[in-house]
Structure 1
């Protein structure tokens, strides 16, 4: 007579069920995304969240960056129209409108091309999942500008820069033909250097080339520099005229002195102060 196996005791499977449910909560199913529905998206790594309205200033209000504005808007327009377009690196001084210009250029192109282009901003902790994003975008009949704001890699990080080179240079994980990268950074070289890191004394040119290797892989690399006093005032005048605000040159300059510099961002903060005093909401 064969040994008889006793049935499991009532409730014996409950711990396994609870563990499975907990693991499912920790690793949720990828979000389904309608890539034709929204003007902008935020890529989280697990999926994309649609943004109903792309917040962007009118191009005419972006002062002091006329050359950069002309180049960026022309390139974004080409992308929206399905023509050849460049990947872009916008680097330089903080607060000089790098990300605002990208958003404004996309917004203007969307009006002209009737939604043929969407902006996809990548969350800072989602860079490692860009391959999945590119795979999804490549299957959609629409053009996309993939936007990474304030990108920087830690010194000694070999993985991030190597992935970026692959995305730009047409490696096996490169972005698809209907998507282009737009990156902002405070430095042209993108990769930070340790304060005690020494340059190669025998081959200084090789050291410079290595630092700029990533920047050279962008079709467009545009520098943004701190604005002059006249440009700072021009930015304020443009916003003040648009929103019906009054100010004096002296108080505008005093604001910049208290903030320790002049930039488009500092000018906007001053305009926000003016609007608050006047009881207006921008």
Structure 2
């Protein structure tokens, strides 16, 4: 009977062999698809990538303009920033990142998006090695990133952003969304830490500082919320009452782009219409 110590040793050996294996190749043609997903070992095409139209996103005009301009630079082979999109839930952070790529693709710009999960940071160098061989521009998109208090991942992300050994190639930039402005949670105890408390805080804030472009998304005002609904309603030919739309938001998580869209889905269902 194999004891636990032997099992643990075998698991360590297997993990080491996996790390020594060559960078995975991909059978997916990364030069023709619109969007992809990184599994941690291979790139897979995302079928049916149809992001929301950029002009449909309301109440975030400044964020749209800045992200579109940065993405154009990347697609044209110019210097471009890594981007942190932070702020309130449901305000269009991930929708905007995808919409910008979709918009540029309609103008035949050679750019694509590659989605990666937040727990795959350690595998990003393998992804960069594949993408870096292409003359195409890529946005590596990580949605809803966040770290535990004792995680080593923030330092790895900092190394990637500041040009360490795992740095991304020139044709690749990271677009990351987070509900927190500084990504890593801060604890009240940090303010009372007797050992270099300022250093503790600065080390955490330094992560968000590595993003050259940081775009904030704030809770929607009543006017912004109704403007979102009005834009969708006009596009889909739906009628609505402001009082009903506000009641919908009050009964849910508050006013946001996501809640506005959910209300449009409700309106279409009531009217017996499809949004496809």
TM range (shorter): 0.7 to 0.9
Which runs of 5 or more residues in structure 2 are unaligned?
A: 1-13, 19-23
**1:39·1:118 contact (CA, 8 Å) conserved in 2?**
yes
Which runs of 5 or more residues in structure 1 are unaligned?
A: 1-22
1:60 matched to 2:55? The reply is yes
Q: In the alignment, which residue of structure 2 is the partner of 1:273?
A: 266
Among candidates 182, 188, 191, match of residue 199 of structure 1: 191
Distance 1:163 1:55 in 2: 32
**2:121·2:157 contact (CA, 8 Å) conserved in 1?**
no
The alignment partner of 2:85 has SS state of: strand
Distance 2:160 2:33 in 1: 25
Q: In the alignment, which residue of structure 1 is the partner of 2:137?
A: 143
CA deviation after TM superposition for structure 1 residue 201, in Å: 5.7
Distance 1:172 1:31 in 2: 23
**1:111-150 deviation per Cα after TM superposition (whole angstroms, max 9, x unaligned):** 22x2500000003443221110001111111110000000
CA deviation after TM superposition for structure 1 residue 57, in Å: 1.0
How many positions carry a matched residue from both structures?
254
The alignment partner of 1:75 has SS state of: helix
The alignment partner of 1:214 has SS state of: helix
Q: In the alignment, which residue of structure 2 is the partner of 1:244?
A: 237
Q: In the alignment, which residue of structure 1 is the partner of 2:257?
A: 264
Distance 1:182 1:223 in 2: 13
**1:80·1:110 contact (CA, 8 Å) conserved in 2?**
no
TM-score, with normalisation over the residues of structure 2? 0.87
Among candidates 220, 239, 254, match of residue 227 of structure 1: 220
Distance 2:106 2:76 in 1: 12
Q: In the alignment, which residue of structure 2 is the partner of 1:45?
A: 40
1:172 matched to 2:165? The reply is yes
Distance 1:223 1:207 in 2: 24
Q: Which has the larger radius of gyration?
A: 1
In structure 2, relative to structure 1, the CA distance for the partners of 1:279 and 1:98 (3 Å cut) is: same
Among candidates 83, 104, 119, match of residue 88 of structure 1: 83
Distance 1:280 1:146 in 2: 35
TM-score, with normalisation over the residues of structure 1? 0.85
Distance 1:36 1:88 in 2: 23
**1:200·1:207 contact (CA, 8 Å) conserved in 2?**
no
Greater Cα shift, 211-220 or 93-102: 211-220
RMSD: 2.0
